[in-house]
Structure 1
């Protein structure tokens, strides 16, 4: 499995979330399989996004697209995103 992990801060979570949801079809076109959203306990506008992808190459194409850069700007992303491309190697259970 391939994953994309992104951490960034937004001006207003509610505004950002509406746009994030609206952008779902575009993520799917690039190969996203969905994922999870997290926020830090200290700041509700500091987000961590973990999305599953069909492959790393499509995740890279998505994050490098001009369309995404414009969307992030429009939605009030105020920090440079930290982006990690991850390959799942194991499930761990206790």
Structure 2
């Protein structure tokens, strides 16, 4: 099962989390089967998110959504995120 990791800094975690939670229906409609959010211990605005997908193609399609980019802007993401895909070994 492919998992997408996304790490980025946000301007305000509480505001970002509100935007992230509001985006859940779009995630589900676009193939996200499970998700999780992590904060760095020493910086709560350093966020890593995981999204699981049934296929690599679904993960790539999700990553290209304009709605995703808009939600990240609305949530206060600073700079470009670091994104990588993995398969559970």
Equivalenced residue count is 89
Aligned partners of 2:18 and 2:6: how far apart in 1? Answer: 18
Cα distance, 1:16 vs. partner? 0.7
| Equivalent residue number for residue 50 of structure 1 | 50
| Equivalent residue number for residue 83 of structure 2 | 83
Matched, 1:36 2:49: no
Which structure 2 segments of 5+ residues have no match? none
Cα distance, 1:35 vs. partner? 2.0
Which structure 1 segments of 5+ residues have no match? 90-94
Alpha-carbon RMSD: 1.0
1:49-90 CA distance string (max 9 Å, x none): 11211111111111111111111111100021000111112x
Cα distance, 1:7 vs. partner? 0.3
Higher Rg: 1
2:37 is paired with a residue whose SS is strand
2:25 is paired with a residue whose SS is helix
Aligned partners of 2:66 and 2:50: how far apart in 1? Answer: 21
